[in-house]
Chains A and B, each alone.
Chain A
Amino acid sequence: MQSTLIKPALATYTALFLLFLYAPFVVLAILSFQTGPEGGPQFPIIEWSTYWYRHLLGLVPPSRIAPLPIDESLLRSLGLAFMTMVVSTVLGVASAQAFRTRFAGSGIVFYLIVLGMMVPGVLVGLGMSLVANALGIDRHWWSTAFVLHVVYTFPFAFLVMLAIFNRFDESVEEASWSLGVPPGRTFRKVTFPLIFPGVLSAMLFAFTLSYDEFSRTLFASGRDLTLPLAIYGTFSVEIHPNVFAFGVLTTLFSFALLAVYAALMTLSIRRAKRVALQEEAA
């Protein structure tokens, strides 16, 4: 039958598809090892070198190519991502907790929250700077840009927590109340530990989305650049392999973050399994 041919054909196609997804990045990684400062962002590789990495870290003598302004913008981006992560996770957990009971207007509230991830950054960014203008307040990464980052990441945290609460067995909370433990303490001692893996995922979402966010930041952050804005700045001028080297480094950073998340997840799962091992040994 035909389908005996279709499967390998589709498998080959999928392989090509993955190549399409990854090829640009592989090329970028290769070119980041171009020699400098005279080597450009194209083939052939004149000589393999780590010049652009050292250039990025300010370890090479000054040349006509200005270093990327990464040190301060990196700190800003991390700070912004951290603030965003904390606030949107708190908002996400609280809202999802509220959605466990049905309340009047819950449908509208749901769409209001989800709208935050759907509306493009250009539009909210523009709207926010118009509001800031009208009110005569300055735009900063830690004020106007920060609130927009939360508008963007809070819906993700909310949806993650909603999914977690959907599978949550509420009788453990009732059991805790019936033991004389007040609701607030029950939340801290029972509910929170049980939803913690979900909270971690929500935090991861919020942090990485904010760390990479630039369209909202572009409009709403004022003079001080965040990391994505520093990269965006290179779009209009001639690019050099230092941007590629930087791309490799941020990707490694993202993977490190993912590894930390995976480690924390494994840890929280293992805590439950540890007792099982003890029992088997006994």
Chain B
Amino acid sequence: MATILKLDNVSKLYGSLRALDGVTLSLPDNAYISLLGPSGSGKTTLLRVIAGFERQDGGGVLLAGESLDGVPAHRRNIGFVFQNFALFPHLSVARNISFGLENSEGTARPSAGVIAAKVRDIVALTGLGGLEERGVAQISGGQRQRVALARTLVTEPGLVLLDEPLGALDANLRTRMRDELRAIRERLGVTFLHVTGSETEALAMGDSLIVLDRGRIGQIDAPDTVYNRPASPAVARFLNCYNLFEGSLGEGAFVGPAGRFALDAAAAASKGGGPAYAVRHDRIEVRPPAAPAGADEVRIEGAFVASEYTGATQLSFFRLDDGRLVEVEAHLSHRSPAAYGADERYGLVWKRRDALVYA
């Protein structure tokens, strides 16, 4: 696959704070890329550097092989969709969309007929038909989101950056817009770089997923790889679906305050960033306290605290003897929700091979 964007050791400083610390990556053309990072991880800074709103302090940015060093934002051919949409409040929907075409630099400006045709196409694609003459204050949040997208896409950018584009929408709309964003992108064949702080959004949207951790790349992989094999404890923590245990790596076992976990030969210490031991919420099985563990299993005990029913899953919390909480997620398609007694002790059991061990 051709590379559309390349970042080479990009760093950005705010005073003594390293917002970006040597970021290197390349984005394939015609793909949907999610960029996941907690707040403060530098993800918005990264987008703003790529867009040219801010200049990096070191390293290089290349778009389709050309260096963007010294190229101002308006000559980069990179679209940007803002979290607050940043629509032009004094212009109608149609004029917002045609704005970029009508005001582009000199020779690039298409004729009025061409502009009208392009606007018509993009309005149809984004489902904004009938709203063209409205003011942008008089349409709903979802429609504003579409205008922001249409306004960017109509200028045919080589790359579209989306800064938490669904953050300002309510939950229902967010799910619907996810599908639409994917569909629109596939129609146009342009690369989307979608920044989000939500792990479910990142996993759902991206053809590939970049995890940013304190100004550095934590992992770049397909979403299921990231989900199943996070590259570091930090990435596992952002994904919000792993129980992480601290401790140290011993002979054939991981030893920590929570107990001694025997290791599977294949799973042992394949990755760095630790030492840490991670088990996904849905890989843990809850058993009565008396039930023993199998030969290939690890078992600890905890007291039930509370559980949360979300429809498709049940999330239960257990407190270990050292005080830390362990989360267990049960998929209810296989079983009905379990009723645990408060403060009663249960065995928490998982397969050795399901554990991830970080050296």
Contacts and interface: CB of A to CB of B under 8 A. Distances in A.
Interface of A: 169, 171-172, 174-183, 185-186, 189-190, 193-194, 271-272, 274-276, 278-279
B151 A275 contact: no
B134 A181 contact: no
Contact of A276 (B80, B86, B135): B135
6 smallest beta-carbon distances between A and B, as pairs: A179-B100, A275-B135, A178-B80, A171-B86, A177-B73, A175-B86
A32 B311 CA distance: 84
5 contacts: A178-B51, A181-B105, A274-B135, A275-B133, A276-B135
A178 B74 CA distance: 5
B86 A174 contact: yes
Contacts of A178: 51, 73-74, 76, 78-80, 152, 157
Contact of B104 (A181, A194, A278): A181
A174 B53 contact: yes
Given A189-B99, A275-B138, A180 B105 contact: yes
Contacts of B77: 180
Contacts of B79: 178-179
Contact of B90 (A171, A181, A193): A193
Nearest to B148: A175
A177 B105 CA distance: 11
A267 to B, nearest CB: 13
A278 B137 CA distance: 13
A167 to B, nearest CB: 13
B314 interface: no
B103 A185 contact: yes
Interface in B75-93: 75-80, 82, 84, 86-90, 92
Given A175-B148, A179-B155, A274-B135, 18 more contacts: A171-B84, A171-B86, A175-B87, A175-B88, A175-B151, A176-B88, A177-B72, A178-B79, A179-B104, A180-B105, A182-B74, A189-B99, A194-B90, A272-B90, A272-B137, A275-B137, A275-B138, A279-B134
A276 B137 contact: yes
Contact of A182 (B99, B105, B157): B105
B37 interface: no
Contacts of A171: 82, 84, 86
Interface residues of B, number: 36
B118 to A, nearest CB: 13
A190 B108 contact: no
B52 interface: yes
B72 A174 contact: no
Given A174-B51, A190-B88, A183 B74 contact: yes
Interface in B117-158: 133-135, 137-138, 148, 151-152, 155, 157
B108 A271 contact: no
A181 B133 contact: no
Given A275-B134, A276-B138, A279-B134, A175 B82 contact: yes
Contact of B99 (A181, A276, A279): A181
B99 A179 contact: yes
Nearest to B84: A171
Nearest to A196: B90
A279 B135 CA distance: 9
Contacts of B80: 174-175, 178
A19 B80 CA distance: 59
A174 B135 contact: no
Interface centre among B78, B82, B157 (most CB of A within 10 A): B82
Contacts of A179: 74, 79, 99-100, 103-104, 151-152, 155
Contacts of A194: 89-90
B250 to A, nearest CB: 53
Given A276-B135, A279-B138, A189 B73 contact: no
Nearest to B135: A275
Interface in B171-212: none
A278 B133 contact: yes
A186 B104 CA distance: 10
Interface centre among B79, B86, B89, B92 (most CB of A within 10 A): B86
Given A171-B82, A185-B103, A177 B88 contact: no
Contacts of A185: 103
A271 B73 contact: no
Contacts of A189: 99, 103
A194 B86 CA distance: 13
